[in-house]
Amino acid sequence: MNLNYRELKRRYELDGAEQTVRHLSEALEQRALRPEDFSIRDLAEALIPDGREWVGLLDPRTSGSVSVTEASDGVDVTAFLNITGQVIYSKILEAYTQEAFVMSKLVQTVPTRLDGEKIPGATRVTGDIDEVAPGMPFPNLGFGEEYIETPSTSKRGFIVPVTKEAIFFDRTHLVLSRAAEVGEILGLNKEKRLLDLLIGVTNNYKHNGTTHNTYQTSGPWVNELAANELVDWTQVDAAEQLFAEMTDPATGEPVLLRGTNVLVTPAYRHAAHRVFNAAEINYAAAGGETTTTAANPLGNYRVDESRLAYRRIVASGVAAAEAKKWWFIGDFRKALAYMENWPITVTQAPLGSEADFTNDVVLRFKASERGAAAVLNPRYVVKCTG
């Protein structure tokens, strides 16, 4: 798509920085515009007063000993910086939220200002409620002593540099490629941390001061089922029976849940499609003379596959042949969360940094995010192995 840079400059002058950047952000989010539609050199020439001369100063043959900072003195480069920053942010975000990062979309994101939280009242109250007689006061309901602790958060980020050469020779594709790499690395790291929780490599469920493994085969809850390779509805039923046995540790009441999500490896993508999307199922009792045909009761599940999950299982030491058979069922949004201090954020370094002189880096954009993957309640997920 060919942009009209003169019109963009005119709209910037008429509407102001905030509204113009917001409109561009919406257009990029809706994919009416793509980061690749922009040219960093053309943006500089159009949005900076006397932009052609400014870009020309990036050539050492014409600028001599004049630095970009000195050339920018008295020149309003705000519009150029704002628009360029929005384009780079859009490319970083696009790579950070790509479809391959399945788990990041299946868990809830919990904004927090704390470096690790102590969440009280993680369990519901008992179902036994005393009758309130006419004219008598209602009992008060408060938080109990039950609590869970989430792990400390950590910060991750990278810098995207924009050099003199990138602007002068219009190497926009190179800048966007670096921005995409930054977004992908940050998104991949977040996805791996969430997957390591899901498969049980990382165990950070801490209840009432005691750390537990996410998956248990006995004890306060059972949510791991071996020899349950996904073949038909009977394996799903076996996993659902584990949910039926889950009880609240504080009240002893059944945990009111049912599975809503299923995650499989690529090897079992078609098997999962057959199991969960079949129009009907057939059931024949052992030694029975009749077969019962019924509508498939499994249509309410959302089924996703994850190549990264398979690779993380193998990386944990499980043989590839066995790792392919692993699958997970539950309500992932209630089981896991990403405790987020701040989402992917892009900030811009001011002009005139040391990098301008030493590395010919005119602009720098820093992308960062801070958070931690946490287990909120392991009773909401069941792991099945082959």
Q: Which domains does the chain have, with CATH numbers?
A: 100-119+144-282+293-386 (3.90.1690)
For residue 59, what are the contacts with CB-CB under 8 A and spacing of at least 6?
168
Is the pLDDT higher at 140 or at 246? 246
> CA 119, 189, 40 angle in degrees (round to 5)?
120
Give residue 205's pLDDT.
97
pLDDT for residue 6 is more than 50 = yes
What is the DSSP secondary-structure string of 187-250? HHHHHHHHHHHHHTSS--EEETTEEE-S--SSSS---EESS---SSHHHHHHHHHHHHH-B-TT
pLDDT for residue 347 is more than 90 = yes
- Give 128's pLDDT tier (boundaries 50, 70, 90): low
Q: Calculate mean pLDDT across residues 43-71.
A: 74
Inter-residue contact 162 to 365 (CB < 8 Å): yes
Per-residue pLDDT of 164-197, as tens digits, reads: 889 999 999 999 999 999 999 999 999 999 999 9
State percent of the chain over pLDDT 90.
Answer: 58
User: Is residue 284 classed as helix, strand or coil in its secondary structure?
Assistant: coil
- Give 258's pLDDT tier (boundaries 50, 70, 90): low
The CA distance from 210 to 204, in Å, is 10
State percent of the chain over pLDDT 70.
Answer: 89
Q: Calculate mean pLDDT across residues 288-296.
A: 80
Give residue 225's pLDDT.
97
User: Is residue 349 classed as helix, strand or coil in its secondary structure?
Assistant: coil
Per-residue pLDDT of 63-80, as tens digits, reads: 554 555 555 555 678 888
Strand order in the sheet with 147-149: 118-120, 147-149, 205-207, 210-212
pLDDT for residue 122 is more than 50 = no
Instruction: Kindly state the DSSP code that residue 116 receives in the 8-state scheme.
Output: S
Is the pLDDT higher at 51 or at 125? 51
